[in-house]
Amino acid sequence: MKCSLVFNVLESYEVVKRQALLYERILPEDFEVIFVDDGSQPPLEIPSSITKNIKVIATKDFRPWTQAVARNLGARSAQGDYILFCDIDHFITEEILEDLKTFEDDKMEFSRTWGVLNEDGTICTDKNVLFDYGLPKREIGKKSSPYNIFAIKKSIFVDLGGYNEKFAGRYGSEDVDFSGRYGKLHREGGANRSIRGKTMYVYPDPRRDVKKVFHSLRR
């Protein structure tokens, strides 16, 4: 299998449903999607209509912050030669998936801009809809480059020891730690510099969650 998309998620049932509908439509045959349920109550499920290789696995870990545990579990379950780690408020375009089909380098990072998923899993970037989802007008059109959303060769992720789970149970710096270890490997000649991929989308303001599609972030 070419690539596994791994999303760590707590509750956010509506977003998971919309994500599943998106990838049901655009996921290549040799790709899979893994939603890692990080302690949702009730447990996550995907719509029964889904036929693509999209599944839910669970950490059964109820500590306050266990992203490292969830991403490592997703990586162990992943069948792809590459893993794309992504947060549930981001969503990946068909153009990115097409690039990953032929990607043979070590690591790909992405830019992001604002977008939402409609209830049927289609992408919407209409500015009025973005405002309706809580985007401040001053933010329209802005892009950023998150270092915790990336595709990586699975063998390199395994060799690096994955995410450091010492951060589990508290909001930590697991993403900074992993990025630093990859950077060290690159400087020592063990991996190539990250390639910049195409732009993906991120919901405007999941913390305010004006449309009530995310969890409460109580953890």
Mean pLDDT of the residues in the chain: 93
pLDDT for res 63: 82
Please report the domains of the chain, with CATH numbers, ordered by start residue. Answer: 3-109+144-199 (3.90.550.10)
Give the sheet arrangement for strand 107-114, strand by strand.
Answer: 54-58, 31-37, 3-9, 82-87, 150-153, 107-114, 195-202, 90-91
Poorest-pLDDT segment among 22-31, 79-88, 136-145, 203-212: 203-212
pLDDT for res 210: 84
pLDDT for res 211: 85
State the pTM of this model. Answer: 0.95
- The residue-averaged pLDDT of 142-169 equals 95
**Angle (nearest 5°) at CA 56 between 100 and 73:** 75
HEC secondary structure over 178-206:
HHHHHHHHHHCCCCCCCEEEEEEEECCCC
The answer, yes or no, to whether the previous bond of 42 is cis (omega within 30 of 0) is yes
Poorest-pLDDT segment among 57-61, 87-91, 112-116, 214-218: 214-218
- The residue-averaged pLDDT of 193-207 equals 92
In percent, the amount of the chain with pLDDT more than 70 equals 98
